[in-house]
Amino acid sequence: MNKNELNILIIPAWYDASNPLLASFFHEYCEALAKSCSVSLLNINYYNYSQRDSYKIEKEDKYNSRNYELIEVNYKKPLPTNWFGLANKFQKRRFFAKVYKELKKHEKFDLIHIQSVCNSFAPYIARELSNKLDIPYIVTEHYSGFNDIYNEQLLQPFASKKLLQEIVQGAQIRFGVSSYACKQYESFFKAPFELMPNLVSNRFIDQKSTELNRDNKYKTFLCIGRFDDNKNQLHLVKAFHKALKTNPNIRLVLVGEGYNLDKIKAFIELNSISNEVTIRSFMPKEKIIEQIDCCDCVVSSSFIETFGLTLVEALFRGKPVISTSSGGPQDIVNDSNGFLVPVNDEIALENAMLKMYANYDTFEADTIMEYAHKNYSESAIISKMIKQYEDCIKKHQN
């Protein structure tokens, strides 16, 4: 099949064109995919009476130009969220009818790609569209918490665990973004998953990268992510504080926002390390690239990561990494690009930062970047995905 023959419909669990933090991953995937085939993204918004005004206002589209088609369908539910049974089925049927009517205005699609079945009507809509249009669907899952005790609450009111399992089991193929994720999803959904890592935008390749900083006596560690309990930045700051006592030539930069910010600031102030630790708010990807280039090593201190995107982005810029063994990073980090440490082990993280400082000259930027390009570039991932699309379509037709 060539580009003109393949038409893919992407249905993500979340997308907000007015907020790049909630849209950038799917936007970048669709942009990369659009270089090889026709792509449409279906953004379905399900809102209640109290939210109606926000959906009457036309939001600013941060992506003024895109190479894929954005199809948006808004649906105001006529019944309370907690009405289950027949009422909930009624809402689903009405919502699907509206989505189907909109999609009939567009060219015929060859395949539906569900991007996460978490906390959304997306999986239900996708399966119904698959049946109605007689086209296959596949699933890529990203969510990390299906096996925690709150998963049933997370799914409501959109679907039950049983319904989600049926939808995922009915997919032509299912993907997880790491070996760890695949095992978690197989346990929850009772269906096999295959590994397909996330891709990193060509922006991390196209922008000229810097050489590793071997001469400056100071080494800067960078951590990017929400300031929450899972990302565990307070644990990182504590480990850094201990390492600083051994080596005063290290610095730490935190980029993010979140409910643990005040705790982090309080610890920094209490221990008088504000000159050594810098906190910056979330920023566009172009600025993130600059932050990575200005640092010497990127750190992830999470409890759980289904992938480890900031680590891979660092590798594309030729920077070594340190990460907890939180799931996805075990697929990413090796002896040539960084160190893995046990989860929530303050002493191990402290020692890893000191080890990185002492052994920095052993890392080669070219080797690090070559590994990233081979395994996580747009061309590497999209070529694999196109092959999967074609195989699923042929299997469905036969």
pLDDT tens readout for residues 162-189: 888 999 999 999 999 999 999 999 998 9
Is the CB of residue 338 less than 8 Å from the CB of residue 362?
A: no
Average pLDDT, rounded, for the chain: 88
pLDDT at 85: 47
Mean pLDDT, residues 268-287 taken together: 95
Task: For the chain, give the number of residues.
Answer: 398
User: What average pLDDT does range 354-360 have in this prediction?
Assistant: 97
Q: What percent of the chain has pLDDT over 70?
A: 86
Tens of pLDDT, residue by residue over 30-74, are 999 999 999 999 998 876 555 555 544 456 677 778 999 999 998
At 12, is the pLDDT very low, low, confident or very high (cuts 50, 70, 90)? very high
pLDDT surpassing 80 at residue 81: no
Written as one letter, the residue type at 22 is L
32-36, 155-159, 273-277: which has the minimum mean pLDDT? 155-159
pLDDT value at position 64? 74
pLDDT at 84 over 50: no
Number of other residues whose CB lies within 10 A of the CB of residue 177: 25
CA distances for 276 relative to 4, 240, 295, 337, angstroms: 54, 10, 13, 25
**With 60 as the cut, is the pLDDT of residue 124 above it?**
yes
pLDDT at 285 over 80: yes
- Residue 190 to residues 50, 151, 254, Cα–Cα distance (Å): 38, 15, 38
Q: Model confidence at 86, in pLDDT bands (50, 70, 90)? A: very low
Residue with the bigger pLDDT between 159 and 324: it is 324
Beta strands in 26-167 (DSSP E): 38-47, 69-76, 111-115, 137-141
Give me the pLDDT at residue 79, please: 56
Q: Which of 317, 32, 361, 67 is nearest to 214 (CA)?
A: 361
Q: How confident is the model at residue 225, as a pLDDT?
A: 95
Give the pLDDT confidence of 207-235 residue by residue, as tens digits.
676 666 666 789 999 999 999 999 999 99
Domains present along the chain, CATH in parentheses: 3-199+377-397 (3.40.50.2000), 203-376 (3.40.50.2000)
Average pLDDT value for residue range 144-173: 74
Residue 138 has pLDDT above 70, yes or no: yes
Q: Are 120 and 157 in contact (CB under 8 A)?
A: no
pLDDT band (50, 70, 90) for residue 293: very high
pLDDT of residue 56: 47
Please write the tens of the pLDDT for every residue from 295-329. Answer: 999 999 999 999 999 999 999 999 999 999 999 99
pLDDT at 156: 53
Which 8-state DSSP code applies to residue 377? B
Residue 382: pLDDT band with limits 50, 70, 90: very high
Predicted confidence (pLDDT) at residue 341 exceeds the cutoff of 90: yes
Please give the average per-residue pLDDT across 7-14, as a whole number: 94
Q: What is the pLDDT of residue 149?
A: 45
